[in-house]
Amino acid sequence: MTFETQGAAAAPSRNFSFQGSGAGYFWIWLVNILLTIVTLGLFLPWALVRARRYFYANTELEGARFSYHATGSSVFVGWLCLVVLYVIFLVNMVNNNAILALCMTGLFLLFFPWLVTQGLRYQFLMTEINNVRFSFYASPLRAWWVMLGCPLLIMVASIIVFSVLMSSTIGTGSYTAIFVGIGIGSLALLLGTAIMQGIYTAQWYGMLVNNLQYGTQKFAATFSMKKCILIALYSMLLLFPFLALAMFIIVPAFVSLMQYSTMVGGNPEQLAMLAGPFYGKMALAYLIYIFGAIFCFIYAFVKMRNYVYAQVSLAGSIRFSSTVTISRVMWLSITNVLVCMITLFLAWPWAKVRFTRYVLENTHVQGDLQSLTLENHGQTPAKDPANLLARGLSFFPAVF
């Protein structure tokens, strides 16, 4: 079997497309919300499955559409087990049963990465296009190192460096040395966070892509930790101008407010009148900070997505690419949020479809799909208790 294409000649590059609409998804979304509320959350697994089926069924590549075969009941079992375990943990915390709570936390840290990868495996096994399903399997030890071991190690190292710098400067008794130490320590934490995020991203997508199959054909990719670290670092550094502007607005206003407070002798009525402009400036500074945080997140999303897709190949000959832009993603994000707020979030389905369509239309496949021989791998989801529990995490995001 080969990948179906439209027309006699295969285009050198083609993009995904989304055929759904905001109106079409609105009714699915509305019913999901109502039934989830009526059933006190018990309908949530079915709601998630119904939403994913709609988006998969309307995602198209060369005339072929995806399909999602998971059922709400299969996800419900794992989801319910996770909820029960969480309730047991909270009960132990409330009753100060520290030993059992600590044991549950340890087991969670030990097995959570494996549960996530098994949830991803179930998710991919239930995903199909052209009557061929995907598959995924990652080593449990590798999953634990990528998701917890390596990030925790880098985080601990960053905290140790920060602590050493702070203790050495505080011991001098010099205010100048203390401020310098705080600055250098903060930079060390920033760099450590960027390193942790970059290494995690490179290892996560390396583990995901290199253990992913489409039928019997394997995906492959090599990701540069240096590149991922730089993207993470640049995104964090971009927040500094917004923070500086927010501080430029708020600090003089705060100083003036303190002076006014001294002048009026702490009179609450007069202080409230004088504080009016301060609250306005504080709100403006907060909005600048939020906008900066959104911009930095979008920068990281766009740069990382375009880089990740450029490294991926299928069967050695099929390549992928992403052409989303910062300006367009920013425009879509801001206008989607504004429209949702104005409509009390009734426009959420339209916003989600709008963003999904843009992302898919800017996700490209290069190569001769007709020459790709496809056959199913014959794998089926495991049904042991641990894997049934892992299905509750089958909605952990795999791609972006």
pLDDT score of 339 more than 90: yes
What tens digit of pLDDT does each residue of 343-360 get? Answer: 999 999 999 999 999 999
CB atoms within 10 A of CB 97: 15
| pLDDT surpassing 50 at residue 308 | yes
Predicted local distance difference test score (pLDDT) of residue 391 = 87
Cα angle 43, 123, 152 (rounded to 5 degrees) comes to 100
Looking at the predicted structure, is the pLDDT value of residue 285 above 70?
yes
How far apart CA 32 and CA 43 sit, in angstroms, is: 8
282 exposed, middle or buried (CB, 10 Å; 0-12, 13-18, 19+)?
A: middle
Q: Taking 50 as the threshold, does the pLDDT of residue 9 lie above it?
A: no
Token duo for residue 143: 């999953």
Q: Which is more confident, 58 or 7? A: 58
Closest CA to 246 of 285, 281, 278, 279: 285
Least confident among 31-40, 58-67, 142-151, 165-174? 165-174
Tens digit of each residue's pLDDT (9 = 90 or more) over 141-157: 999 999 999 888 888 88
pLDDT for the residue numbered 171: 63
265-293 mean pLDDT: 74
Which whole number is the average pLDDT over 29-38? Answer: 96
The pLDDT of residue 7: 43
Q: What is the pLDDT of residue 356?
A: 96
> Mean pLDDT throughout 99-113?
85
Q: How far is CA 188 from the centre of its chain?
A: 25
From residue 93, give the alpha-carbon distance in Å to each of 86, 88, 98, 107, 219: 11, 9, 7, 16, 44
Helix 72-94 / helix 44-57 crossing angle, nearest 10 deg: 140
Each residue of 63-78: pLDDT tens digit? Answer: 899 999 999 998 898 8
Q: What is the tens place of the pLDDT at every residue in 257-274?
A: 666 666 655 556 655 666
Condensed to tens digits (0 to 9), the pLDDT of residues 322-335 reads: 999 999 999 999 99
The pLDDT value given to residue 129? 93
Mean pLDDT of the chain: 86
Residue 183 has pLDDT above 80, yes or no: no
Query: In whole angstroms, how far apart are CA 130 and each of 9, 62, 176, 214, 373?
Result: 19, 10, 67, 11, 12
Could you tell me the pLDDT band of residue 8, with boundaries at 50, 70 and 90?
A: very low
How many whole angstroms separate alpha carbon 355 and alpha carbon 111? Answer: 34
pLDDT level of residue 310 (50, 70, 90 thresholds): very high
